[in-house]
Amino acid sequence: MRVTTILDQIDLGSMALPEFQRGYVWNRDQVRGLMQSLYRGYPVGGLLTWITKTEDAEAREGNELAPGSVRLLLDGQQRITSLYGIIRGEPPKFFQGNKDAFTNLYFHLEEESFEFYAPLKMKGNPMWIDVTRLMNDGIADSIKHFLELPEAAGQTTDFINRLNAVHGIREVDFHIEDVVGEDKTVDVVVDIFNRVNSGGTKLSKGDLALARICAEWPDARRELTTRLEKWSNAGFNFRLEWLLRNVNTVLTGEALFSDLKDVETQGFRDALGKAEKSVDFFLDLIASRLGLDHDRVLTSRFAFPLLSRYYWQRGGQLSDPGERDLLLYWYVHTILWGRYAGSTETTLNQDLEQIENIDGGLERLLQQLRQNRPDLKLRPDDFMGSNRGARFYPLLYLLTRVHGAMDWETGVKLSAHTLGKSTALHLHHIFPKSLLYDHGYTQAEVNAIANFTFLTAETNLKVSNKDPQKYLAAYAEKDPALVASHWIPLDPALWRVEAYREFLAARRELMAAAANDFLDGLAKGTIVETPETESVLERESALIIGGHDSEDEEQLLVDLNTWVVGLGLPAGQLLFEVTDTDTGDALAVLDLAWPDGLQEGLSEPVTVLIDEDPAIEEVANQTGYRFFTDIATFKHYVRTEILAVDEAA
């Protein structure tokens, strides 16, 4: 089928994208390569389409489908979307992605090359031809550009032939292989899709599950996305597959998405409503009882599908405060020991099995955790990590919020209930980095968990990088309880920079004791009830609580993430924990990471590491990440290798 006919069929609604297809992910380099191959007459592969009845077709939003039957494009989306954008001058209605990847493509008559518009190189140069204009207006106008030029003498015929070759791309004939037949269900078609895309972007298990649901309920993706947006607005960023996992466990009691294959639409809709309610309940509960009130400290998020199942096993309510706090005790320990850091489905199914009979289920869950830590007690050595270890950094924040830590300036407890919903806590190095580096301490020692505490922004700014031997003495003289409430040893001798290692050891002892005290209270149900507060989901804006070595670094990474999203690329994950795939042990915490690449499934995992220890860089390298240590270099990579933009333009 000729390219022009394919584009016409898209406009008529006779050809569309199936719902399970992902968006457009090609970059400019790939678009140039396609056009160069077509111009040279090289083979670029055929198309695979699924012919199905229009009334049964679950196509991507945008197109009104033609009556009768429709071709859903299984293989060839990137090529056809690129050609549509170049020839029509705009993306097709089903488009989702970055249209800059195919906008403003030019052809050089002498060099016979395709490049994207660069003003300094192309403006006023008649050898550069606007490909989209050529495709729509024909070659006549382009010929006028060079006929009177001296350099065109003797080459007129060659130039005309080259223009005809570019324009002739419209008439290239693509071989189309059709998948048709009553036996070609969504499951079969998705399996075919994954087989033909073995070298490209495969559908995840969540994509496949959603494709099944969307076949019966077209609004399913939108309904899921609406919930995710609600949580995102409150400062909690979850992925669609995570929410789908919650729905799955509520509905089937299983982690595997394959268990959704026989689910009816109404059952799925009901389970989605229940999953939303349980997630809302636990977000509020964890924020109020544990103080974990923001995305950066809400780790072990794959415990939520189990929590959702447990909640509805109990009929949508917990039996008493004791059960509630014991469930939170279990949740905190899943954070500390990385219960869901490894093979999520396998671990989740093991735990779901423990609560299938709800009576005694919670104790069986705890018994699973005791296989690795029999007494579930924290020890001082557990706080020896650095770089804001993803498991113990949230614990420090938790203790600050719920265990009596006080602001050094005002004496007010640093609880969300006393500070209010809009107060962000900022990370503070007790011993300033500059002071420690000047005295020869290593980066890992400087960024030790035991050197961190949280303060209000005002107090953090006032303390700044003062010597702790001076500022801690001043606060201790004001009230020793202010300093002690942060689990800081009160022996002034330990506040000297020369005694820094002894200070860390002493503080780890105090932190472990405080953590065990709080966790024991949860297990025994003796933690004081928290006052009624506004739901964490009703916050007007998300909190930024810090989490990197400084608020400046934090803002740099947040701004970088915003920049990436603005280019139509996926957001990265802040403070992403890299784990051993076999054991689930934490290997490192990456400042900002794209574990699936900036073009998910097509490009390598990447991470941005700001002022990190070389050991972290080594872990990133060994686990397959391409790492960048400054913002400018990373942005250059995004522009030139992902978007293939000519930076000289």
Q: Report the pLDDT averaged over residues 586-612.
A: 80
pLDDT in tens, 226-252: 999 999 888 888 888 899 999 999 999
- Whether the pLDDT of residue 198 is over 50: the answer is no
Q: What is the mean pLDDT of the chain?
A: 84
Buried b vs exposed e over 471-496: b needs ≥16 C-beta within 10 Å?
A: bbeebbeeeeebbbbbbbbeeeebbe
State the average pLDDT over residues 153-178.
88
Rounded average pLDDT over 421-438:
83
pLDDT of 489-517, one tens digit each? Answer: 999 999 999 999 999 999 999 999 999 99
Task: Provide the pLDDT confidence category of residue 546 given band limits of 50, 70 and 90.
Answer: very low
What would the pLDDT profile of 313-362 be if each residue is shown by its tens digit? 999 999 899 999 999 999 999 999 888 876 678 899 999 999 999 999 99
Task: Judge whether residue 547 has pLDDT over 50.
Answer: no
Q: What is the pLDDT of residues 23-61, one digit of tens each?
A: 787 888 889 999 999 999 998 888 888 888 777 666 666
Q: At 276, which amino acid appears?
A: E
pLDDT higher than 70, residue 66: yes
Q: What average pLDDT does this structure show over 150-162?
A: 79
| 96 C-beta neighbours (distance < 10 Å), count | 16
Local structure of residue 640 (DSSP, 8 states): I
Question: CA–CA separation, 555 vs 562, rounded Å?
Answer: 10
What is the reported pLDDT for 574?
77
- Residue 165 vs residue 202, higher pLDDT: 165
Q: What is the pLDDT of residue 215?
A: 64
Structure tokens at 188: 């079969």
- Has residue 529 got a pLDDT over 70? yes
Q: In this predicted model, which residue has the larger pLDDT, 421 or 320?
A: 320
In the block, tokens 């994954």 appear at 194
- Residue 185: pLDDT band (50, 70, 90) is low
Q: Residue 91: phi, psi to the nearest 5?
A: -75, 160
Report which residue type is found at 107: F
State the pLDDT at residue 18.
77
pLDDT of residue 166: 95
**In this structure, what token pair is assigned to residue 481?**
């309880």
Say what the pLDDT of residue 649 is: 46
DSSP string, 347-381: HHHHHHHHTSS-TTHHHHHHHHHHTTSTT----GG
Nearest CA among 183, 18, 33, 202 for reference residue 101: 33
pLDDT over 70, % of the chain: 84
Pick the most confident of 49-53, 178-182, 197-201: 49-53
Strands, sheet with 573-579, edge to edge from the N-terminal-most edge strand: 573-579, 586-594, 606-608, 626-628
Question: What pLDDT is stored for residue 543 in this prediction?
Answer: 41
Q: Angle formed by the axes of helices 321-336 and 265-290, to 10°?
A: 90
pLDDT, one tens digit per residue, over 567-582 is: 878 888 877 777 766 5
- Residues 102 and 82: beta-carbon distance below 8 Å: yes
Residue found by looking up tokens 């500022």 in the block? 471
Confidence of residue 74 (pLDDT cuts 50, 70, 90): confident
Q: Indicate if the pLDDT at residue 406 is higher than 90.
A: yes
What is the pLDDT, as a whole number, of residue 573?
A: 81
Q: CA-to-CA distance for 487 and 161, rounded, in angstroms? A: 79
Q: What CA–CA distance (Å, rounded) separates 284 from 294? A: 11
| pLDDT at site 542 | 37
CA separation for the pair 183, 339 (Å, rounded): 41
Residue 635 in this model has a pLDDT that exceeds 80: yes
331 membership: H or E segment, kind and range: helix 321-336
Q: Which of 29-33, 181-185, 257-261, 411-415 has the lowest average pLDDT?
A: 181-185
